[in-house]
Structure 1
Amino acid sequence: TPAAAICIEHILKEVDFISIGTNDLIQYLLAVDRVNESVAHLYQPFHPSVLRSLKNILQSAESAGKKVSIFGELGGDPMATMLLLGLGNIDDLSMEPHSVPKVKKVIRTIRLEEARQLADDVIHMSNPDEITSFITNAMRVRFPEDFDRDLSFEEKPSPT
């Protein structure tokens, strides 16, 4: 919840690890019901408040020596993987099985310095669309062979 994100330093004194549920965190930070069709378009995973909250949580957990798991749609989104790794230390990402190869490719291919630079570049941006565009362009440059016409990161079949 946003309250837990704000008080993370106090919570970390009482726990052995933390798990971040990104779907609920985004929904409650932005006060947007992601299943309500009339406002679902306002549900923006790359909103500055979401990214700054995640960065604060990850940095606080690292300072406290606590492990961090991320679950929810953001954890299995290859477009978010590089950014998440750049925001701070993450020990576990939970995702749907079909997301594993895509996320694995991003993790195995990028350098941590690249991820940190991406996070540094977007953390000061104030517009979610600008952030999304910046991340999309960075991923398109880094993984040109994996983007289809819809800009979605797609697993290509291996040649036989």
Structure 2
Amino acid sequence: MKLSILTLAVTLTAGAAMAGPVAPADVAYTEDGAVEASLSGMAGNVENGSKVMTTKSLGNCVACHQISALSHAPFHGTVGPSLDGVADRWTEAELRGILTNSKLTYEGTVMPAYYVVDGFTRPGNGYTGKAAEGPLDPLLSAQQIEDVIAFLATLKE
């Protein structure tokens, strides 16, 4: 019996690992905009999350938010709320929803929807000469979202 349960657990774990990340169009939101399930199926990495939040070419969260734990990063913004203590105010599912598609939680927000790939108005080539062709990639990968969630979970009062 124990061997059967162990075999089933290993099989389920291997199947989940092989499933890969949730595609942006397949993200399941609650009615409040939260995302209960991990987007990557893997735990986030706090150090990588910190990097995403402070790197201009990635999430660059510090451009809009004050984060005392990232005081080494220059130019903290004041457009968004301070993220100090954010893990006490929001659950991981709520934070994942906000990062994935902030517009579902905060209508009209200027915060980017980091894991959305459609529904955008694209400026045509007449404006920039560089309009994107074909499908867009999300701003952050599923794992990068999970990494940021892992870092945010450390920000308690």
Higher share in helix: 1
In our comparison, the structure showing a higher alpha carbon Rg is 2
Q: Answer yes or no: same fold by TM over 0.5.
A: no
Higher share in strand: 1
TM-score, normalized by length of structure 2? 0.30
